[in-house]
Amino acid sequence: MSTRAREYAAQVIRRERLSEHFIRLVLGGDGLAGFASTGIPDEWVGLVVPGQFQSRYYTVRSWDGSELVLDVVVHDHGLVTEWAQRDVVGETVTVTEPKGSFALPDGAGWLLLVGDLTGLPAMARIRETVGLPTRVWVESPEIVEDYLPAGAEVAWSTPPSDDASHLATVVEGIDWPEGEGYFWMAGESAQMRAIRKHLMRERRLPSSAYDVMGYWRGGATRQPRAVDPGPLWRAGKAAGKSDEEIWADYDRAAGSD
Ligand SMILES: Cc1cc2nc3c(=O)[nH]c(=O)nc-3n(C[C@H](O)[C@H](O)[C@H](O)COP(=O)(O)OP(=O)(O)OC[C@H]3O[C@@H](n4cnc5c(N)ncnc54)[C@H](O)[C@@H]3O)c2cc1C
C-alpha cells in the first residue's frame, strides 16, 4: 500500500490579516478538484510554497468544496512565515490530502483543549464540530478576538518570554472534570513530549483519552527535518499502534528525540 499522500496544486485566491500574528490564506482553483475533507476536526494538510520543496503543516480551518482556508501564524522567521507576509495572491502552492488524529472516545462527556497560537485553528474547528462542554486554554502573545466559536470557557495567557512556554504548568494546574472526556493539545514538540509523559504517568490516562501533538520545534539552530505526519499516521494505524505511539514515532522521525 502506498503511503504517499495525494497532492493538489491550488491558487491563493485571498489573503487576509486576522491579527498581528495570524494570516488567513484562502486557496482555490481547479487544482483542488477531488480534494475532500476527512471530517476529522483537527485535520491538516502539507503545504509547499513556491520555490520550495519542504512542506509545512497547516490545519484545514475550513473546506466548503471550493475554498480551502488555512490560518498561518507568522513568527520571527521561517519558510512559510516569510512567504505569507508578502502579497501572495495569485501564487500556486501544493497541498496534500488532509489527515486528522482527533478521536473522541464513545461516552466522552467533556472536552479540554490546550495549545499555543498554532493550535488555535484546530481548537476553533473542534469547538465548532463537537457539542460537548469545552474548556480551552490558549497561550498566545495576543488575544485573537472572536476567533473561537462562542460557548466554550476560554483562558488566554501570554508566554513568559519569546522562547519559553508555561503550557506544562497550565496542564499540571488543570482541575479535571469528573467522568470520561477527551484532552486535545498542540504546541512545541519537546514540551508536548513532556506533557504526554505527565498524562501517562501522573494522570494515568489511557492513550485513547488524549491526543497531544508536537506542531513545531523550537530551539533549533539548524532547520529541523520536515516530516509529513500523514504517512506515519497511516502506517501506524495500519500496524495497530495507539495515537501515543504514533506521535512518539513522529517525534523520532523529526529528530526531536
Ligand atoms: C498537524 C499540524 C498542524 C498545524 N497547524 C498549524 C496551523 O493551522 N497554523 C499554523 O500557523 N501552524 C500550524 N502548525 C505548525 C507549523 O507547521 C509550524 O509552526 C511550522 O514550523 C511553521 O513553518 P515556517 O516555515 O513558518 O517556519 P520554519 O521554517 O518551520 O521554522 C523557522 C524557525 O521558526 C521556529 N518556529 C516554527 N514554528 C514556530 C512557532 N509557531 N512559534 C515560534 N517559533 C516557531 C522554528 O523553531 C525555527 O527555528 C501545524 C503543525 C502540525 C504538525
Task: Report the separation in Å between the CA atom of 141 and the middle of ligand 1, taken as the mean of its atom positions.
Answer: 15
Atom of ligand 1 nearest to the CA of 79: 25
Given this model, what pLDDT does residue 82 score?
A: 96
Task: Report the separation in Å between the CA atom of 215 and the middle of ligand 1, taken as the mean of its atom positions.
Answer: 6
Given this model, what pLDDT does residue 93 score?
A: 98
pLDDT of residue 222 exceeding 50 = no
Given this model, what pLDDT does residue 219 score?
A: 75
Model confidence over 177-215: pLDDT tens digits?
999 999 999 999 999 999 999 999 999 999 999 999 999
Q: Among residues of the chain, what percentage have pLDDT more than 90? A: 76
Task: Report the separation in Å between the CA atom of 217 and the middle of ligand 1, taken as the mean of its atom positions.
Answer: 7
Q: Which residues line ligand 1 (CB under 6 A)?
A: 44, 56-59, 71-73, 75, 77-81, 118, 121, 213, 215-218, 220, 229
Given this model, what pLDDT does residue 3 score?
A: 62
Instruction: Report the distance separating Cα 183 and Cα 198, nearest Å.
Output: 13
Task: Report the separation in Å between the CA atom of 56 and the middle of ligand 1, taken as the mean of its atom positions.
Answer: 7
Pocket test for ligand 1, best of 20, 40, 57 (most atoms within 8 A of CB): 57
User: How many residues are given for the chain?
Assistant: 257
Residues 248, 251, 254, 257, Cα dihedral to 10°: -110
Pocket test for ligand 1, best of 96, 216, 225, 256 (most atoms within 8 A of CB): 216
| Residue 212 burial class via C-beta count within 10 angstroms: exposed 0-12, middle 13-18, buried 19 and up | buried
Q: What is the mean pLDDT of residues 27-48?
A: 97
What residue owns the CA closest to ligand 1's atom 15? Answer: 215
pLDDT of residue 131 exceeding 60 = yes
Cell numbers placing 120: 488555535
Q: What is the mean pLDDT of residues 147-170?
A: 85
Question: Does an H or E element contain 195, and which?
Answer: helix 189-197
Q: What is the mean pLDDT of residues 34-57?
A: 96
What residue owns the CA closest to ligand 1's atom 46? Answer: 218
Sign of CA pseudo-dihedral 27, 74, 250, 107: negative
Name the nearest CA neighbour of 110 among 184, 36, 37: 184
Name the nearest CA neighbour of 159 among 167, 151, 171, 147: 167
21 pLDDT band, cuts 50/70/90, is very high
- Among the ranges given (24-28, 173-177, 218-222, 223-227), the one the predictor scored with the smallest mean pLDDT: 223-227
221 pLDDT band, cuts 50/70/90, is very low
69 pLDDT band, cuts 50/70/90, is very high
Question: What rounded mean pLDDT belongs to the chain?
Answer: 90
Given this model, what pLDDT does residue 164 score?
A: 63
Name the nearest CA neighbour of 164 among 196, 137, 195, 187: 187
Given this model, what pLDDT does residue 203 score?
A: 92
Model confidence over 224-254: pLDDT tens digits?
556 777 878 888 888 888 877 888 788 777 6
257 pLDDT band, cuts 50/70/90, is very low
Cell numbers placing 137: 486554554
163 pLDDT band, cuts 50/70/90, is low
Task: Report the separation in Å between the CA atom of 18 and the middle of ligand 1, taken as the mean of its atom positions.
Answer: 17
